Amino acid sequence: MSQILIAYFSKAGENYVSGAMKELPVGNTAHVAAMLQERAGGDLWEIRPREPYPDGYRDCVARSKRELQEKARPELADTLPDLSAYNAVILGYPIWCGTMPMPVWTFLEAGDFSGKAILPFCTHEGSGLARSVEDIRALCPQSQIGEALAIHGSHIPESGDALDSWLRRAGL
Ligand SMILES: Cc1cc2nc3c(=O)[nH]c(=O)nc-3n(C[C@H](O)[C@H](O)[C@H](O)COP(=O)(O)O)c2cc1C
């Protein structure tokens, strides 16, 4: 039996959805993470930065670009869960500037993921997984990185079948 942790980063608030600025009450990645928990069970854990990102899209892009350039590792608001309780980690994030938001890097460096299966998924607005999977591989060389799934932000409501078959292929 897999003990599954669904760890995800997501930002509610202003964002582009299919070219239009929208106010999202629940972030896209949080939405998918909840759909995955309904299907696979497991524990949800939100990767929250100690200093929340600005609600406004432009300010958020400016900070994320700066953090990426500076190879920042923003502090997290919460202590990591006890990872020894899990053998599979579903890792969800939005694509920000071609990769994962920097708090996800903080999370992957702070925990011991060696010997665990990591199953990445992202939500995005067109760039798919971009560089994120290579970055996860480099951050977690002792983990088994499974098939990664990319979901366009505007296709989430109808992504249930894709989630089911992805989980099935991963044996979860
Ligand atoms: C700071 C920032 C940078 C982004 N960079 C990209 C990008 O490089 N490629 C892309 O396809 N979408 C990009 N997006 C769009 C998000 O990946 C997309 O809207 C995602 O579904 C948001 O998930 P969330 O609501 O869980 O935060 C960016 C959004 C933000 C806020």
* Averaged pLDDT, groups of 10, the chain, 172 residues long: 92 86 92 98 98 94 98 98 96 98 98 97 97 98 98 96 98 94
pLDDT for res 19: 82
Q: Which residue's CA lies nearest to atom 9 of ligand 1?
A: 127
CA 64 to chain centroid: 15
What's this model's pTM, rounded to 2 decimal places?
0.97
CATH of the domain at 161: 3.40.50.360
- Number of domains making up the chain: 1
Q: Pairing mode, if any, of strands 20-24 and 13-17?
A: antiparallel
Q: Counting atoms of ligand 1 from 1, which one is nearest the CA of 128? A: 11
Domain assignment of residue 41, given as a range:
4-169
Q: Are 103 and 63 in contact (CB under 8 A)?
A: no
* Ligand 1 shell residues, CB under 6 Å: 10-11, 15, 24, 27-30, 57, 60-61, 64, 94-98, 123-127, 153
